[in-house]
Structure 1
Amino acid sequence: MYFKDGQHILLIGDSITDCGRREDDAPYGRGYVSLLRAFTTARHPGTRLTWTNRGISGNTTRHMAGRWEADALAPRPDWLSVMIGINDVWRAFDGHPENAVPLDEYTDTLRTLLRRAVEETGCRLILADPYIIEPDRDEPQRAASDKFVTVVAGLAEEFDAVHIPTQQVFDSALVSTASQDWADDRVHPNLAGHALIAEAFMKALEI
């Protein structure tokens, strides 16, 4: 396992990370963050880890940039996990194109935030792909999302981050299932969908 005794793991992102952590399911939410924490604890009960969930529903990279200092840097995590970009793409297709984040802006913003995190805290990075649970790669939102996935993979290599290939994980599942088996809206996973994400983290981090 990559995590070491006494380390602090902070996960930041949008609703997929949030998943009720600011409401009834505080402080970890009811999604992949909670599952990842639970299974890591179960498999390595002697490793004392601190977990922090800083997901906020609806966030794009613009929102995340505005809270980066307080939510990502100030806690000085040993590991910083970032999953962002779904809303950056989705806003161009849900009737709010003015809130969409162009690919170039997304790339520049995310690179700047990650560089700050590494330089100011010395943390290791975990970068999870944005995704859409859509098997047709020519479907417009899927085609747009795939470009953001390519950016995250490149940044993971650039920063020597642990890369979580979230889109690939869902694509593999869609070979024998339907999108609705994992999410009603192709984005917000049910419990099984969150379990797929958590398993991807566990595999990449050798938990």
Structure 2
Amino acid sequence: MTTFLTRGDRVLFQGDSLTDWGRDRDDPESLGHGWVAVAAALAGARRPDLGLRFHNRGVGGDTAALVRERWEADALALEPTVISLLVGINDTWRRYDQGRATSTEQYEDSYRALLDSARERLDVRFVLVEPFLLPLSPQQEAWREDLDPRIEVVRRLAGEYGAVLLEADSMFAEATIAASAEHWTTDGVHLTPAGNGLLAEAWLNRLGLPA
């Protein structure tokens, strides 16, 4: 069966708390307890012949600029062959809870710098997971004005860099037809076990590792 992943791939998950999800910072092999751990476990179970290795270096609270600051140590130095990146919701969230706005242009500049440096230094393929929101209140609905342009940035960069795009925001919007937003998220951003499962399954399916 043909997949995006190949034998011996070293897969790095990068981003914010959605990726971090309780990983043990003292254990470089820790994958946390969220969708990353689910995706890695199922990938290994479904295709043991590929001998895949997984790393999680997500850091809770990170914006794209903060990921950029630690990119050398937490991405390039690990020499992954695949980078899965999910970052952007904190660029929006900090505007509304702390008054720290990041323009769409600044977000794109940081995001593009991550991709450029990895492509220049490594023989790497990208999986870009767009940031997403499942609003639980009218106040969160207002975040769309800030978040939607960032989602468009990720979609455009995926095409430009030949990356696999996981349209997570659209996926979760469709999922709320089957069940309420509260079924998938605890606060509009962080995921329930069901939400983590849905995102992991979507990642696997997008990379050609369906159940």
- TM class by shorter-chain length? over 0.9
Read off the aligned partner of 1:144 and give its amino acid letter: D
The CA RMSD over aligned residues, in Å, is 1.9
> 2-side partners of 1:112 and 1:63: how far apart?
12
Query: Is this contact kept in 1: 2:63–2:91, CA < 8 A?
Result: yes
> 2-side partners of 1:22 and 1:142: how far apart?
32
Greater displacement, 150-159 / 130-139: 130-139
Match of 1:164 in 2: 166
Match of 1:71 in 2: 74
Greater displacement, 117-126 / 174-183: 174-183
Query: Is this contact kept in 1: 2:68–2:113, CA < 8 A?
Result: no
Residue 101 of structure 1, CA deviation: 1.9
Read off the aligned partner of 2:178 and give its amino acid letter: S
Query: Is this contact kept in 2: 1:60–1:88, CA < 8 A?
Result: yes
Read off the aligned partner of 1:202 and give its amino acid letter: L
> 2-side partners of 1:199 and 1:131: how far apart?
16
Residue 139 of structure 1, CA deviation: 2.3
Match of 1:104 in 2: 105
Q: Secondary structure at 2:57's aligned position in 1? A: strand
Q: Secondary structure at 1:126's aligned position in 2? A: strand
Of 39, 44, 47, 2:42 maps to 39
Match of 1:139 in 2: 141
Deviation above 3 Å: which 4+ runs of structure 1? 23-26, 135-138
Match of 2:188 in 1: 186
> 2-side partners of 1:143 and 1:84: how far apart?
17
- Paired residues, what number? 205
Read off the aligned partner of 1:162 and give its amino acid letter: V
> 2-side partners of 1:139 and 1:122: how far apart?
40
Structure 2: 5+ residue stretches without partners: none
Match of 1:151 in 2: 153
Q: Deviations over 1:18-42 (max 9, x none)?
A: 0001269970011111011111111
Q: Secondary structure at 2:5's aligned position in 1? A: coil
Where does 1:78-117 land on structure 2 (aligned, <5 Å)?
A: 78-94=81-97, 96-98=98-100, 100-117=101-118
Read off the aligned partner of 1:185 and give its amino acid letter: D
Name the TM-score, length of structure 2 as normaliser. Answer: 0.92
Structure 1: 5+ residue stretches without partners: none
Q: Deviations over 1:64-114 (max 9, x none)?
A: 1110111111111000111000100011111x122x321110011111210
Residue 2 of structure 1, CA deviation: 1.4
> 2-side partners of 1:112 and 1:205: how far apart?
24
Read off the aligned partner of 1:88 and give its amino acid letter: D
Name the TM-score, length of structure 1 as normaliser. Answer: 0.93
Query: Is this contact kept in 2: 1:135–1:171, CA < 8 A?
Result: no
Read off the aligned partner of 1:55 and give its amino acid letter: G
Match of 1:54 in 2: 57
